[in-house]
Amino acid sequence: MISIDNSQRTAAKVAGFTGLFAVAIVVFANYTLLNSLIVPGNAAATARNLAAHETQARVIAICFLSYSTSVIVLLAALYVILKPLNRGLALIGALFRLVFASLWLLTTLSNSLGL
């Protein structure tokens, strides 16, 4: 039987809060802010909308960067929680989540910088 220590309890609270925050911020950015700017099947109109609503586009980018940061915090917390069960699997899971967060971050930065 594995005992639960205080660091795992704290990591579980951090993981719970961060997971909820990550979902809330990405849903808000995608469905509230971004959907109103996208014109399906018309990239030129979408680009005009993004240029016309620059502040909204910047808020979307900030939301996506916050999401990427929260995913990194979440993976660290999940690693602390799962490490006592199987350190190797916890590390592999953390690395896969880190790759996901890095790709999301790079995509957001490249889209917001126009690269």
Closest alpha carbon to 63 in 111, 14, 13, 12: 111
- Count the domains in the chain: 1
Q: CA–CA separation, 112 vs 52, rounded Å? A: 14
- The residue ranking higher by pLDDT, 110 or 86, is 86
pLDDT in tens, 20-59: 999 999 999 989 998 888 888 888 898 899 899 999 999 9
In a domain, 48, yes or no: yes
Q: Note the pTM of the prediction, 2 decimals.
A: 0.79
Q: What is the mean pLDDT of residues 103-108?
A: 82
The whole-number pLDDT of residue 46 equals: 87
The whole-number pLDDT of residue 112 equals: 64
pLDDT in tens, 49-77: 989 999 999 999 899 889 888 988 999 99
In a domain, 1, yes or no: no
Contact 104/68 with Cβ under 8 angstroms? yes
Q: CA–CA separation, 109 vs 96, rounded Å? A: 20
Q: Which H or E run includes 102?
A: helix 87-113
DSSP 13-79: HHHHHHHHHHHHHHHIIIIIIITTT--TT-HHHHHHHHHHTHHHHHHHHHHHHHHHHHHHHHHHHHH
Domain containing 61 equals 6-113
